[in-house]
Amino acid sequence: MDKLPKQPTTMEKLPEELLSDILIRLPAKQLAQFRCVSKPMNTLLSQPSFIKSHLHRSIHNNDEMFMVFYSELCLDGEIPIIAHPSHSPDIENPNFINLPASLTIPPGYTHSSILGSLNGLICFGLWPTYTVFVRDPIICIWNPSLNALRILPPYTIPASLGFEGIDLHIRFGYDPETDDYKVVKFSRLFQRPATAFGSYFKEWLEVEVYSMRKGSWKLINDRFPSHVGWISEFAGLSIIGSDGHDGHIHWLCELNGKITKHAIVAFDLATETFGEIPLPDSIQQYKKDRTKLLGHLSGNLCVMSYMEDGDIEVWVMNEYGVAESWVKHHVFSQFSGNIVPLGFILNKDFLLQGDKNRLALYDQIAAKANSLEVIATSRFGFDRVKIISYVDSLVWIAPAS
């Protein structure tokens, strides 16, 4: 008697280890569709271990890219979001991602800002046009790979208190201890006299932290250090999102006092407390005409110091939180003209802004600069551009069940 032909084995009947090894090579968008195939398949693809393995593979396979956004975040669809793959940064892909159709922008909200980008998640805020009746920004977390968007619930402290003004600071970070993504929001309160122009700093208000795992905001006990008078935020073309991946968020701050001093304020996402990290002594001694900029190089906190038509110094903290571990790693003096350092992108390449609305990626190993053109129009201007690192990701944005 002839044997019946062997029936083909379905994917679900494969050993889980082999199935995982196959699926981990697929893009997140396709894997998201596989979740609907069956309950066992959904269970496998939803496991935190699989999601992390897929993310790590994307990072280590050089699948990262950097994206160029305008501060309006292309809300009207006229200006595309430009993606540059890490393996070929001179290639422009204007159709890689689009804002999800589920995003309904309320009337009066005309622009937005990127607040952070980590592990394939992009956090941004929608901002209203300034009026007498100030409205709070709407904060969103977005995974373009899954076309998933979460609009965060309102926070507690409003954006305006009578004649007193509030300067909002909102950042996005990842806590590896609890595998949780968090949004940190605090405000600087100004007192505005009713009969005079100007304003003066009054106090730092309470700090609120949103937990994506819990799906809610909470007020924490710790406050932003009271002796900090100013936070140095880069308003023009800048890299957003290289911070917050290691369980800490950082701000470069100017301290109150007769002598201008700077320090790094760090927020620990696990303990939800603030700390202070001193800058290298030699940077503190520099004159005011040198600009300072925070960044990350190969996973380590770094600070860049530069002046117009001068050299660019890069200091790296080899042991996190230890002031004595600051080491001067690079001094870039080979650049001439109007060159502005923006920081390190894709974990290693040094991104520079030149004249004529151009960017240059400096490869430290090859010691050469690749010229990159960034879209800039008379309507938006080059100073509104924000750049983020991005990677394909299965990280879901819903609270944990």
199-238 burial: b if 16+ Cβ within 10 Å, else e: eeeeebbebbbbbbeeeebeebeeebbeebeeeeebeebb
Residue indicated by tokens 């004249």: 355
Q: Spell out the per-residue pLDDT of the chain, length 401, in tens.
A: 555 555 555 666 777 788 888 889 988 888 988 888 888 888 888 888 999 999 999 888 867 888 887 655 555 555 667 788 877 777 778 778 877 777 888 887 877 788 889 999 999 888 877 653 457 889 999 999 888 999 999 888 765 554 456 778 899 999 999 999 999 999 887 665 544 544 556 778 889 999 999 999 999 999 999 888 888 876 566 777 667 778 999 999 988 876 678 899 999 999 999 999 999 888 876 656 678 888 888 888 988 888 766 678 889 999 998 999 999 987 776 666 677 778 888 667 788 777 666 777 777 666 666 655 554 443 455 666 788 888 999 998 877 65
How far is residue 381's CA from residue 341's CA, in Å, rounded to a whole number?
18
Q: How far apart are CA 191 and CA 255, in angstroms?
A: 19
Residue 121 DSSP symbol? E
Residue pair 389/241 in contact by the 8 Å Cβ criterion: yes
Extract the runs of DSSP E, i.e. beta strands, from 212-247: 216-219, 228-231, 238-239
Q: Which residues pair with 262 in a beta bridge?
A: 254
Euclidean distance between CA atoms 374 and 82, whole angstroms: 8
Are residues 88 and 63 in contact, defined by beta-carbon separation less than 8 angstroms? no
Q: Are 270 and 178 in contact (CB under 8 A)?
A: yes
Give the Cα separation of 252 and 292 in Å (integer).
8
- Any idea what DSSP says for residue 12? G
Distance CA 140, CA 397 (A): 10
